[in-house]
Amino acid sequence: MKKMILLALALVVLAGVLLRPAPDKHGAQAITGLPWQIEILPDGRSRVFGLTLGTSTLADARERFGADMEVAVVAAPGEAGSLEAYYSQVTAGVLTGKMILTAALDRENVERMRQRAVKKQRMESSTRKFYLDPDDLAQAYATPIESITFIPSASFDADIAVSHFGRPAERVRTSAQVENLLYPDQGLALTLDSKGKEVLQYVAPRQFARLRDPLFSRAPK
């Protein structure tokens, strides 16, 4: 009974964080590292979760979120793939979720790492995951982070998203159950799935076309 009461209290606190409007820019930020706390730097880069896209490395993320980072090359058939780091759970402020960090590594080095992989694993689709040779890990950790994907454990809807991130510049529906809220000035694409998990994707604002353009190829005609 005591465990059930504690769990109920924890859920009430989490709901309060999600439903509470985001504080204005002049207010005190008691909690940091939340998904909607995106800082745009003078050079046009963005900083979120305590990481600066294009500057912070996988090693910086490892120091911030812990050593249980799974690093691998992820590739679909016929593609070179990308170097990615995966966390099954991180804490962002008071929210938990899965996180994927994509590294800014050139094609030649990605292919070399994939060829030297010590193990490969088929994922849910035909995509494969190639686990790195230990000798390649140092280079992987030193590579800057190009994009971040965060999949929160708690679900939220469009009203909650708008209360924290503001009104999106565009809303793109790619199916009856999936709508994408686009924030180009923040480098954020937020995917709301009425029957699945929400997904938040972050890039530097100047690279936002990488997130926006593929959506229109999937949008209903």
| Confidence at residue 27, expressed as pLDDT on a 0 to 100 scale | 46
**Inside any domain, residue 135:** yes
**Inside any domain, residue 8:** no
Q: Kindly report the pTM of this predicted structure.
A: 0.84
**Inside any domain, residue 6:** no
**Domains contained in the chain, number:** 1
| Confidence at residue 24, expressed as pLDDT on a 0 to 100 scale | 46
| Confidence at residue 30, expressed as pLDDT on a 0 to 100 scale | 74
**Inside any domain, residue 62:** yes
| Confidence at residue 114, expressed as pLDDT on a 0 to 100 scale | 94
| Confidence at residue 70, expressed as pLDDT on a 0 to 100 scale | 96
**Inside any domain, residue 26:** no
Mean pLDDT for back-to-back runs of 10 residues, the chain (221 residues): 40 45 49 94 94 97 96 91 97 95 97 94 88 96 98 90 95 93 96 93 95 82 62
**Inside any domain, residue 187:** yes
**Inside any domain, residue 24:** no
For the chain, the three-class secondary structure string (H helix, E strand, C coil) is CHHHHHHHHHHHHHHHHHHCCCCCCCCCCCCCCCCCCCEECCCCCEEECCEECCCCEHHHHHHHHCCCCEEEEEECCCCCCEEEEEEEEEEECCEEEEEEEEECCCHHHHHHHHHCCCEEEECCCCCEEEECCHHHHHHHHCCEEEEEEEEECCCCCHHHHHHHHCCCCEEEECCCCEEEEEECCCCEEEEEECCCCCEEEECCHHHCHHHHHHHHHHCCC
Containing domain of residue 61, as a range?
33-218
| Confidence at residue 221, expressed as pLDDT on a 0 to 100 scale | 62
**Inside any domain, residue 94:** yes
